[in-house]
Amino acid sequence: MLNSVQLLSDLQDVNAIGQSISGCLEPAEIAHRVTEALVQRFQCAFARIWLTDTDQQALTLVASSGLYTHTNGSFAHVPMGAYKVGKIAQNRVPFLSNYLPDEPWVKDRDWAIANQIQGFAGYPLMAGDRVLGVLATFSHTPLAPEFLEVLQMLCLTTTIALDAALQSQRTIPKSVSQSGAIALSDQLAKVLTSTQLMLVGTERDLPASMAYALLRGVELLTQLDCSYCRLTYGEQAVLLDAIAIFPPNIREDLLEQTASPLAELQRLTLWLGGTLTTQPDPQDRVFELTLTLPYGAATEHFSVSVHCQQSVLQLAFTHLCLQAGLNLKEMTSAKTAESNCQEVLLTDRLDIPSSKSPIIWIQHSPRGQIPAAAQAVVTLDIIPQQLYTVVAQVSQGQAALPELIAPTLSDREQEIMRLLSQGLRDRDIANRLHISESTVRFHVNNTLTKLKAKNRYQAVYEATSREWI
């Protein structure tokens, strides 16, 4: 049985593999890096990845490492539903066996015996309801049932990378990052049929992965009847701000529900090192979305050491860090804790040795005491997106304690507050900014909430006193 120490080690290996494929947009190269890592890090006899053909009728072998490295053998093309690999793709069910020579579906039993192949694990690569392919590993020794859990984490990371690579090849022109190419804003405007795109700042060349994320975001927003969309090229990042209608049957936080159409965009954003936030307005049944992608963030990852008292909490936050795209480091020992460590320490322990690493405190209860050394506090209900944001803040020297978090107004909210301070009505503001009155009310309501103001006059006063307008 796989013990907790081994599981943590395997999860860290999965994280390292994820780092190696981050930002890569060549499907075959992604698959090759993953199969190579499975052989080197998990001692697999050989590992393979098949990708589903465009007609969804067959799978093509694109990577093979270990005992066999060729991709043109008898299993180069597998019809959907044929052999075990085809059945895994068709039925979408992971499979593990430690008696491969005795399995009735094995094509050549003598081959398995001669090569001492005992274990087999296969996993479908699923992106939503789409099957991108199948990952399969073969081993000389029995595989622990828990290995499927490890494989699931690896397949999730691999699927995100493969999906981004495959989609970018289909939807983004090769010249997207070259001078003279079709401007990204023009591409977004063609996709965005429900409203007019606003462009702020001078456009610059973006990596294809970032351009795809923005295009995919606009596609999803169009499906949600987007009424406002703005693309901003800032000094450090490109931002996509939008307002759209809540999807049916979703009443809670859009980023906390796997059924949310934004779940895919959130995973892609985390993979690129960006942030995705939503601000709901239940009264009007609309929400504001902000997608931020720092330039060059695809290769920037923050490091975290997880050090919890309870093993279940240790595993839970290790999984959470992996889902957030964070780089896991080994737990800091007493000796190394005194050195100048750069990674963030995520812990609930009161007996942490003296450390120069920034500390994020895991708070079990609302009334729990916060250690004086903590730079940030997270709770047990935190989601990957939120954890990434907190780690990024702490890594960059910003405190994120509850009492130190000050609300900030977006550029649009400050702009509307300035116009309100001049005595303009909602209709006048809407006409001047070329937006609807409901959009103006949306931003005003958000501002009232952020400033804890009872009315517009108090909000204008608070914004002015803080020198935001």
In the structure encoding, which two tokens stand for residue 274, read together? 């960006």
> How far apart are the C-alpha atoms of 131 and 89, rounded to whole Å?
7
Overall CATH class of domain 411-465: mainly alpha
Residue type, 143: L
* pLDDT mean values, one per 10 residues, the chain (469 residues): 63 79 83 93 92 89 92 88 90 88 85 90 86 93 79 84 76 43 82 86 82 87 86 90 76 54 75 78 76 70 81 79 73 40 78 74 73 83 78 77 59 87 88 84 84 82 77
> How far apart are the C-alpha atoms of 245 and 11, rounded to whole Å?
38
What's the CATH number for 301-404? 3.40.50.2300
Predicted confidence at residue 405, as pLDDT, reads 45
| E strand residue ranges, 75-156 | 77-79, 95-97, 119-127, 130-139
User: Which helix (H) or strand (E) segment is 384 a member of?
Assistant: helix 384-395
CATH 1.10.10.10-classified regions of the chain = 411-465
CATH 3.30.450.40-classified regions of the chain = 4-171
Burial of 324 (0-12, 13-18, 19+ CB in 10 A): buried
Q: 327, 393, 386, 331: which is closest to 358 by C-alpha? A: 393
DSSP state of 30: H
CATH 3.30.565.10 describes domain 183-298: yes
> How far apart are the C-alpha atoms of 460 and 154, rounded to whole Å?
50
329: CB partners within 8 A, 6+ apart: 303, 304, 305, 343
**Do the beta carbons of residue 17 and residue 33 sit within 8 Å?**
yes
Predicted confidence at residue 256, as pLDDT, reads 53
Predicted confidence at residue 303, as pLDDT, reads 82
pTM for the whole structure: 0.52
Residue type, 434: H
CATH 3.40.50.2300-classified regions of the chain = 301-404
In the structure encoding, which two tokens stand for residue 215, read together? 């295009």
Superfamily of domain 4-171: GAF domain (3.30.450.40)
CATH 3.30.565.10-classified regions of the chain = 183-298
